[in-house]
Amino acid sequence: MDVIVCVKHVPETAEAEIKINPDGKKVEESGLVFDINEWDDYALEEAVQIKEKLGGSVTAITVGSEAADSTLRKCLARGADNAIRITDPKFEGSDSYVIAKILSKAVKDLHFDLILTGAQAGDDGSAATGPILAEFLGISHATMIKKIEFNNDLVRFNRELEGGLEEVGEVKLPTLLTIQTGINEPRYVSIMGIRKAMKKEIKVLGLADLGLNEDEVGELGSWVKIEKMYVPPMEKQAEFLKGSPEEIAAKLVEIIKTRGLV
C-alpha cells in the first residue's frame, strides 16, 4: 500500500499574540513557532500505521519554503520513507485551488494507492485542498475520516458528521481521504528516528518541474484573493454582576428585558 500524505508547515498560534503585516494580507511570522499542521499529524500517523500493517511506502509532500523542511524531517523521523518539497517564489498568494493544482502536478506521476490529507489547516481552515486535489487527479474522496479499514481494493470508513454522528461508507482505491483529529494517537519522534531523518534526501521541485505557467499559480491563478486581514476589535467587555443571589437575579432579568430577549 503506497500512501502519499500532504502536510503543511503552519505557525502555532494558540498562545501567541497575532500581528498583521503592514500590507494587511499576511500574519507577521517573526517570533512565531512553526510545526506540522495538527490534522496532518494524524494523517501522517495513519499512513505509517497502514504501512506497518500492509507494507508499502509513505511519501510526505508539502508546498512551502525551505523552512518547511523541518516538518518534512519530522515526517521522515516518524516513519515516512520519502519527502518532497514544492517551492517557488511564484507560489506566494496561492489559494487552496492553486495549492491543490500544484500538488496534483507533483503526484500524478507517482505510484499511489491512497492519498491522505488533514481535514483542514490550522492557519486558513479552508478544508478545501484535499477534495480539490482529488478532483484534479480524477479519483474519489471522502472527508472528516475517523476510522479506516481495507478489504482488497475497497476502503471502508467512518466519517464525522454534526451532532456526534458518524457516517459509514466505502470507496474504491485509489482514493483520497481527509483525516480528522482523534483517529489515532500520533507517536513521539525518537532520537534514532531524528538521526536517520537528517540523512535522508528531501526532493525539491519548482515551477518548471511541474509544467505550470506563472499565471497559473500565486494570486494570478487563484480563485480566492485576500483583500485584508485584521484582528477583530474588542467592542464590549464582560459585565460582572455583584450582590446577593436575589439581587443578581433581578439585575439579570432587567438586562434580558432591556435588550429585548424576552
Q: Enter the CATH code of domain 2-221.
A: 3.40.50.620
pLDDT attached to residue 21 = 85
Rg of the chain taking only CA atoms, in angstroms: 22
Would you say the C-alpha torsion 25, 87, 94, 233 has a positive or negative sign?
negative
Q: Show me where the domains of the chain are located.
A: 2-221
4 contacts: CB under 8 Å, gap ≥ 6 = 58, 59, 61, 107, 110, 112, 114, 115, 116
pLDDT attached to residue 239 = 81
- For the residues of 39-51, what is the DSSP string, one character each? HHHHHHHHHHHHH
Q: How much is the average pLDDT of 129-156?
A: 97
Per the model's pLDDT, the better-predicted residue between 17 and 236 turns out to be 17
pLDDT attached to residue 180 = 97
Question: If you ran DSSP here, which 8-state letter would residue 260 be given?
Answer: T
Q: What is the rounded distance in angstroms from the CA atom of residue 152 to the CA atom of residue 148?
A: 13
Lowest mean pLDDT segment, chosen from 1-5, 159-163, 191-195, 235-239: 235-239
Cα separation values, 129 from 47, 223, 245, Å = 18, 13, 52
- 54 — pLDDT class (breaks 50, 70, 90): very high
Strands 9-11 and 34-36: antiparallel
All cell numbers assigned to 208: 518548471
CA 137-177-84 angle, to 5 degrees, is 65
All cell numbers assigned to 55: 507494507
Lowest mean pLDDT segment, chosen from 59-68, 103-112, 234-243, 248-257: 234-243
